Amino acid sequence: MRHVTGSAADEARSAQSLLIDASERLAAAHSMDEIVEILRSTARDVVGAEGIAVVLRDEGRCFYVAEDAIGPLWSGSRFDENICISGWAMQRLETVAISDVRNDARVPQEAYAPTFVRSLLMVPIGRPTAVAAIGAYWADVREHAPETVKRLESLARLAAISLANARLLHLAEESGRQRSLMIEAGRLGMWTFDIKTGELETSPLCRENFGRDVDLPFTYADLHAAIHEDDRTRVEAAIDTSIRTGGPYDIEYRLITPAGETRWIGIRAQPSYNPDGSPKSLDGLSIDITDRKRMEVALQSSAATLEHLVEERTRELIAAQAALRQAQKLEAMGQLTGGVAHDFNNLLTPIIGSLDLLHRRQVGGERERRLIDGAIQSADRARTLVQRLLAFARRQPLKSEAVDVAALITGMRELMGTTLGLQIQLDIDLAEDLPLAMADAHQVEMAILNLSLNARDAMPDGGSLTLSARHRTPGARHGEVPEGSYVVIAVTDTGLGMDEETRRRAVEPFYSTKGVGRGTGLGLSMAHGLASQLGGTLTIKSAVGAGTKVSLWLPISTDTAVRAIQPIDHAATTAGIALLVDDEELVRATTADMLIDIGFDVIEASSGPEALRHLRERPGIDILITDHLMPQMTGVELARTAVRERPDLPVLIVSGYSDAIGIDAQLPRLEKPFRQADLAARLAAVLSPETLRLQAASGFASACRASGKLRNAR
């Protein structure tokens, strides 16, 4: 749909208003001069032309009765209608639009050459036989906009009856016979009302205009009863004023015909008086103006529709701008969050690693071990906070695979019951034959747990929580969810509920109604970010006092089976030589201590090039453990080069989350920060016989090449 600018809308409304005003003035006009002046002034305003001409069709000739800005050249001139543009328009009853008169074969060059005219519009007036035309002229070459053409055509339609009547009245001044013909042609009914006796005499055409039988007279009482009840008082006042002052009785009103039709009638009358000054009669003409009134209503409706369209588009534009600003704000926060999370994870890695080593070695006495345990708990909370920030920013590394949501929720029943406490009744409602969802099982578990904790906090006096899962396929009319097929996990509580403002802001990061120290305000943001990153969404339905329902929409997986989890042989990590690469010295040192404690001999390198030198000099290296985001060479680039030179070398990439974007899911990866147990488990998985067998089949090398987005080397 075409967008309407503010200035275009103002111009359109102004043109509509001018046309409506012109219709009223034309209805009241009774002379050619009045009508011509109305047409000229209105045409100038609605089409913005430099010249306006009103042309009469008279005995096979076009007679320019009025001109504007064309000068005396054409004033009062006559042209053969077979060769002039106005004749062309009136003969064919079609609008003529010419962008350049010098390049149009229809234009008599000898007539236009001395003038300023370079482009024109000519519109016929009257149907089925055109009695006149109105022309608009410009000094420049231009293509005429459809709106300009429509406005001039609308003015011509409005002028048709009035101009025909005025023209006939003008011609009838010399002949009573012509006057009678004029009345018939103009559809004017004649009537006389005897003020003293109340008798009403009407012509057949007058009776026809009033919807009566043309062969039967009707009385003033009949007429008065037929006037629309909303107009009756106004008509009576106008008659009284005319008789009392001697002024014209000039009015338009509605009446209801015997057939039940509503018509508009235009009246023009003049009172007459007896020699003693007493009122004698009202003598006048009537005309059926129903068609003109309907056109006015249509114009007003069009103006109202246009105004409504402008308002609607303005609201849509404001909403789109607000959405764009919100998206830009969230994108900026996401970029900032990703960068901060990377640095924060690098800081947390040596903290958590060192504390974990001290805890495992039972360093110090009971007080010291208690302090170490407290520090580890705080560090783990910081790690969880970073995970939530990354989930909100949609920068967390996701392991998207087919997930059995029903089995996942069933497996969480015991944990949920313990977490919610005895005051909350837990109900689990799972649909049968639920399809698999494309998701990260661990992250979905975290999201469900966060949503359940929010629900528990919203029920301080207890209540019930329902954890359900359904298969849903929303259509195009679902405003909040794109079309598709989803597994919908819903957490529904009977708690306090949210007002509209809280519901609207619920997924904003750090927004919380729990008070200081009772939450980060990231639970819903994390769940919303997770769903969005997986290609789904999150919806909230809530009302104050009526509880809340939060739904997590996860796309259906194309896989038909859940991947089995392979058991890990931890004995595979008991010995070997590990090449450890990290440009952060503290991270590298802490990781080296963990590897040594696990049972590895460690060779340290601070960059990719240095690591490659060690690989080439020390053929006995059993595994390469490398950070990803490093100067000179990334971890993926290092892995690609190393595997190309030593296809049997296992590789583990250590990532600070945000820098993991773009790493192929097949590459073994360990996210920072981590404990020694996390490192040992990941090494066991990398060095397991199944992983080594897959690597030998070149799948691992292909993954390295795919992550590096480079071609296979021959």
Q: Are strands 78-80 and 200-202 parallel, antiparallel or unpaired?
A: unpaired
CATH number reported for the structural domain that contains residue 454 in this entry: 3.30.565.10
Q: What is the pLDDT of residue 4?
A: 41
- What's the distance, CA 284 to chain centroid? 58
Kindly state whether residues 108 and 31 are assigned to the same domain.
yes
**Over 80: is that where the pLDDT of 81 sits?**
no
Q: Which tokens is 232 given?
A: 């009756």
**Last residue of one domain, picked from the residues 173, 198, 215:** 173
Report d(CA 307, CA 116) in Å as an integer: 37
486-493, strands of its sheet edge to edge = 424-430, 463-472, 486-493, 548-555, 537-542
Q: Are strands 577-581 and 537-542 parallel, antiparallel or unpaired?
A: unpaired
Report d(CA 486, CA 538) in Å as an integer: 12
Residue 115 lies in a domain: yes
Q: How do the residues of the chain divide into helix, strand and coil, expressed in percent and rounded to 5?
A: 45, 20, 30
Residue 388 lies in a domain: no
Burial code (b: 16+ CB inside 10 Å, e: under 16) for 688-700 equals beebeeebeeeeb
**Phi and psi, residue 434, nearest 5°:** -70, 125
* Of 535, 541, 447, nearest in space to 485 by CA: 535
Kindly state whether residues 136 and 12 are assigned to the same domain.
yes
Kindly state whether residues 484 and 579 are assigned to the same domain.
no
Supply the pTM of this predicted model: 0.39
Q: What is the pLDDT of residue 149?
A: 92
Q: Where are the alpha helices (DSSP H) in 580-710?
A: 585-598, 608-617, 635-645, 676-686, 689-696, 699-708
Q: Within 10 Å of residue 662's Cβ, how many Cβ atoms?
A: 11
Residue 213 lies in a domain: yes
**Over 70: is that where the pLDDT of 696 sits?**
no
CATH number reported for the structural domain that contains residue 606 in this entry: 3.40.50.2300
Name the pLDDT band for 482 (thresholds 50, 70, 90): confident
Task: Determine contact, residues 166/84, Cβ cutoff 8 Å.
Answer: no
Kindly state whether residues 169 and 77 are assigned to the same domain.
yes
Residue 359 lies in a domain: no
Residue 387 lies in a domain: no
Kindly state whether residues 632 and 582 are assigned to the same domain.
yes
Rounded mean pLDDT of 115-120?
A: 86
Q: What is the pLDDT of residue 625?
A: 92
Task: Determine contact, residues 136/52, Cβ cutoff 8 Å.
Answer: yes
Kindly state whether residues 628 and 531 are assigned to the same domain.
no
Kindly state whether residues 22 and 167 are assigned to the same domain.
yes
Kindly state whether residues 222 and 248 are assigned to the same domain.
yes
Residue range(s) defining the domain that contains residue 253: 187-288
Residues making up the chain, counted from first to last: 714
Report d(CA 12, CA 20) in Å as an integer: 12
Mean pLDDT comparison of 65-69, 472-476, 490-494, highest-scoring range: 490-494
Give percent above pLDDT 70 in the chain. 76
Q: What is the pLDDT of residue 143?
A: 93
Report d(CA 189, CA 265) in Å as an integer: 11
Name the pLDDT band for 463 (thresholds 50, 70, 90): very high
Rounded mean pLDDT of 50-58?
A: 83
Q: Per DSSP, which regions of 296-362 are E strands?
A: none
Q: Tens of pLDDT along 193-228?
A: 898 888 888 888 888 888 888 888 888 888 888 899
Q: Residue 223: which residues within 8 A CB-CB, separation 6 or more?
A: 200, 210, 255
**Last residue of one domain, picked from the residues 288, 308, 331:** 288
696-700 long-range Cβ contacts below 8 angstroms, 24+ apart: 696/647, 696/648, 698/647, 699/666, 700/643, 700/651, 700/666, 700/667
Q: Within 10 Å of residue 387's Cβ, how many Cβ atoms?
A: 19
Name the pLDDT band for 7 (thresholds 50, 70, 90): low
132-138, strands of its sheet edge to edge = 78-80, 61-68, 51-58, 132-138, 119-125, 96-98
Domains: count for the chain: 4
CATH number reported for the structural domain that contains residue 248 in this entry: 3.30.450.20
Kindly state whether residues 169 and 216 are assigned to the same domain.
no
Name the pLDDT band for 157 (thresholds 50, 70, 90): confident
Kindly state whether residues 650 and 579 are assigned to the same domain.
yes
Rounded mean pLDDT of 526-551?
A: 84
Task: Determine contact, residues 684/569, Cβ cutoff 8 Å.
Answer: yes
Burial code (b: 16+ CB inside 10 Å, e: under 16) for 6-20 equals eeebeebeebbebbb
Q: Which tokens is 289 given?
A: 């103006």
Report d(CA 27, CA 227) in Å as an integer: 20
Q: What is the pLDDT of residue 517?
A: 39
Kindly state whether residues 213 and 110 are assigned to the same domain.
no
Burial class (CB in 10 A: 0-12, 13-18, 19+), 188: buried
Higher pLDDT, 262 or 383: 262
Q: Where are the alpha helices (DSSP H) in 65-113?
A: 85-92, 109-112
* Of 382, 445, 441, nearest in space to 673 by CA: 382
Residue 311 lies in a domain: no
**Over 90: is that where the pLDDT of 99 sits?**
yes
**Over 50: is that where the pLDDT of 253 sits?**
yes
Mean of the per-residue pLDDT values of the chain: 78
Q: Tens of pLDDT along 555-584?
A: 998 776 555 444 444 444 456 899 999 988
Q: Which residue has the tokens 């920030």?
A: 389
Higher pLDDT, 508 or 144: 144
Q: What is the pLDDT of residue 66?
A: 64
Q: What is the pLDDT of residue 477?
A: 67
**Last residue of one domain, picked from the residues 272, 288, 304:** 288
Higher pLDDT, 371 or 175: 371
Q: Which residue has the tokens 């909403």?
A: 319
Q: Which letter does DSSP use for residue 556 in this model?
A: B
Kindly state whether residues 15 and 47 are assigned to the same domain.
yes
Cα distances (angstroms) measured from residue 571 to each of 507, 564, 667, 687, 693: 45, 21, 22, 10, 17
Residue 364 lies in a domain: no
Name the pLDDT band for 31 (thresholds 50, 70, 90): confident
Least confident of 153-162, 192-201, 419-428, 650-659: 650-659
**Over 70: is that where the pLDDT of 635 sits?**
yes
Task: Determine contact, residues 214/208, Cβ cutoff 8 Å.
Answer: yes
Least confident of 53-67, 482-496, 527-541: 53-67
Residue 328 lies in a domain: no
CATH number reported for the structural domain that contains residue 51 in this entry: 3.30.450.40
Name the pLDDT band for 310 (thresholds 50, 70, 90): confident
Q: Which tokens is 516 given?
A: 């200081």
The DSSP result for 189-250, as a single string, is: EEEEEETTT--EEE-HHHHHHTTS-TTS---HHHHHHHB-TTTHHHHHHHHHHHHHH---EE
Positive or negative torsion for Cα 511, 514, 515, 517:
negative
Report d(CA 540, CA 524) in Å as an integer: 10
Give percent above pLDDT 90 in the chain. 14
